[in-house]
């Protein structure tokens, strides 16, 4: 038999039969129009006209993920050579006008002050999550934080507490630093010397990477660096005193005479007229004699010549040392580190301008004969 109808109506039926009216849909309040910003009141950009920025840096510095989304277009594309995983690679670099990028960031945040506040918030979050690591932002952000010194805000590479290396500020330079330390037998002196030789002359990280890669590939193999003992013997003291008399070039920005001019050789070319400077042969003779005295007193090992040669190398490198360009690397002080040279081979130091005089002083033959054979 069919079930009898329920004596009470279902909830759905009850709702259908009730006299309560249906709820009308919610009415949304009209959205406020975006605030009209008068860009004429914004400060002028401090970015130099014509300055460009790489596409990859726009996100890191300005927080703009996709430049095209905010109406930015590249100003040009360049083919460049870049060190990638230790190899020189040809890549395409997409460049944007940085003033346009800055303006887009200002518009995105409501003005230059609002953009600065956005960067400051990112900076605080970065310091909390990544203590000791570099925070990347436009230069205008850091200059606005003055009088706090810029070096307290920006660190170049490294992580955690302790000193950082201002030269190793990209992934490739960190990689190259490790390779240069290995080349120098576990010492960072060669890495430091190569960077000092180009510091202030090359500001592009890409070019610095390429110069250091050239140095790694082209500079010679160096012996282990040994440093003189704290207490110097009479022979070492004599060498140290002698090296204090070495000719030294003054800063090119000032018209000052060279130091220790009396130990200098000056050669003149008649046409075109110019001068070149060298350590004089009488002074070099005294250096070779001092090194021979150390060999006689202490031998050629780490207690003797193997340490003394580095003292002479360091002083000569101040006069004429490592030279780097994109395709070549040369260390003009390196001959001071070399062991005994074969008969007929002379050190590749520069002794004079003219070939017939560009030879070591006679005492060098005697000095070379005392050196170890490697």
Q: Is residue 101 part of a domain?
A: yes
Q: Is residue 40 part of a domain?
A: no
Domain with 78, as residue range(s), is 47-109
pTM of the shown model: 0.61
d(CA 107, CA 100): 11
Is the pLDDT at 249 greater than 60? The verdict is yes
**Residue pLDDT, tens place only, 303-348:** 999 999 999 999 999 999 999 999 999 999 999 999 999 999 999 9
Mean pLDDT, residues 240-254 taken together: 79
Which pLDDT score, from 0 to 100, does residue 81 have?
77
pLDDT band at 257 (very low <50, low <70, confident <90, very high): low
Q: Which residues of 161-196 are buried (b: 16+ CB within 10 A; e: fewer)?
A: eeebbebbbbebbebbbebbeebbeebeebbbbbbe
Top-confidence residue, 91 or 7: 91
CA distances from residue 13 to 10, 18, 182 in whole angstroms, order as listed:
5, 8, 86
**Domain end call among 57, 74, 109:** 109
Q: Is residue 154 part of a domain?
A: no
d(CA 73, CA 92): 16
Is the pLDDT at 59 greater than 70? The verdict is yes
Which pLDDT score, from 0 to 100, does residue 60 have?
85
Which pLDDT score, from 0 to 100, does residue 29 have?
54
Reported in sequence order, the residue ranges of 1-98 that DSSP labels E, i.e. its strands, are: 52-54, 76-84, 87-97
Which pLDDT score, from 0 to 100, does residue 253 have?
42
Q: Is residue 281 part of a domain?
A: yes
**Domain end call among 63, 82, 109:** 109
What does the block give as tokens for 95?
């460049």
What does the block give as tokens for 252?
């090119």
Least confident of 143-147, 215-219, 341-345: 143-147
Contacts of 374 (CB under 8 A, 6+ apart): 339, 340
Angle between helices 234-243 and 305-319 (to 10 degrees): 10
Q: Is residue 14 part of a domain?
A: no
Mean pLDDT, residues 114-138 taken together: 84
pLDDT band at 19 (very low <50, low <70, confident <90, very high): low
**Residue pLDDT, tens place only, 188-198:** 999 999 999 99
Reported in sequence order, the residue ranges of the chain that DSSP labels E, i.e. its strands, are: 52-54, 76-84, 87-97, 264-269, 274-279, 322-324, 329-331
Tally the domains of the chain. Answer: 2
Which pLDDT score, from 0 to 100, does residue 145 have?
57
Is the pLDDT at 177 greater than 70? The verdict is yes
Which among 202, 225, 223 is positioned nearest to 214, based on CA atoms? 202
Contacts of 154 (CB under 8 A, 6+ apart): 134, 135, 142
d(CA 26, CA 29): 9
Q: What is the largest CA-CA distance in the chain?
A: 133
**Residue pLDDT, tens place only, 279-307:** 999 999 999 999 999 999 999 999 999 99
Top-confidence residue, 11 or 336: 336
Which among 158, 224, 228 is positioned nearest to 187, based on CA atoms? 224
Is the pLDDT at 148 greater than 50? The verdict is no
What does the block give as tokens for 69?
């989304």
Q: Is residue 4 part of a domain?
A: no
**Residue pLDDT, tens place only, 65-117:** 889 999 999 988 877 777 776 777 887 888 898 999 999 999 999 999 999 89
Reported in sequence order, the residue ranges of 259-341 that DSSP labels E, i.e. its strands, are: 264-269, 274-279, 322-324, 329-331
Task: Examine residue 272 and say whether the peptide bond preceding it is cis (omega within 30 degrees of 0).
Answer: yes
Top-confidence residue, 259 or 144: 259
**Domain end call among 109, 137, 155:** 109
Top-confidence residue, 5 or 308: 308
Q: Is residue 24 part of a domain?
A: no
């Amino acid at each position: 038999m069919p079930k009898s109808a329920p004596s009470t109506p279902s909830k759905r039926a009850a709702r259908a039969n009730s006299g309560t009216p249906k709820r009308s849909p919610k009415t949304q309040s009209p959205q406020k129009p975006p605030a009209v910003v008068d860009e004429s009141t914004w400060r002028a950009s401090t970015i130099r006209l014509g300055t460009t920025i790489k596409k990859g840096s726009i996100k890191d510095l300005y927080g703009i993920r996709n430049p095209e989304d905010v109406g930015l277009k590249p100003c040009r594309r360049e083919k460049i050579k870049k060190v990638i995983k230790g190899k020189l690679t040809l890549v395409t670099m997409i460049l944007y006008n940085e003033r346009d990028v800055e303006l887009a960031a200002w518009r995105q945040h409501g003005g230059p002050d609002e953009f600065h506040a956005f960067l400051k918030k990112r900076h605080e979050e970065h310091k909390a999550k990544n203590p000791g690591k570099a925070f990347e932002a436009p230069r205008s952000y850091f200059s606005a934080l003055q009088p706090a010194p810029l070096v307290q805000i920006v660190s170049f590479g490294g992580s955690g507490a302790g000193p950082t290396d201002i030269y190793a500020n990209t992934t490739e330079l960190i990689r190259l630093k490790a390779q240069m330390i290995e080349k120098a037998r576990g010492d960072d002196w060669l890495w430091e010397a190569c960077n000092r030789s180009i510091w202030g002359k090359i500001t592009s990280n890409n070019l610095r990477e390429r110069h250091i890669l050239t140095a790694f590939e082209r500079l010679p193999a160096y012996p282990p660096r040994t440093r003189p003992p704290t207490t110097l013997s009479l022979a070492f003291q004599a060498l140290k005193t002698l090296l204090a008399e070495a000719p030294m070039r003054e800063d090119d920005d000032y018209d000052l005479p060279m130091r220790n001019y009396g130990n200098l050789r000056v050669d003149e070319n008649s046409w075109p007229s110019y001068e070149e400077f060298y350590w004089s042969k009488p002074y070099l003779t005294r250096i070779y004699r001092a090194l021979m005295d150390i060999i006689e007193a202490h031998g050629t090992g780490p207690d003797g010549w193997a340490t003394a040669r580095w003292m002479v190398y360091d002083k000569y490198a101040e006069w004429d040392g490592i030279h780097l360009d994109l395709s070549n690397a040369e260390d003009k002080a390196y001959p001071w580190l070399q062991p005994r040279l074969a008969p007929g081979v002379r050190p590749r130091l520069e002794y004079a301008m003219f070939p017939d005089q560009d030879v070591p002083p006679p005492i060098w033959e005697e000095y070379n004969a005392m050196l170890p054979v490697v």
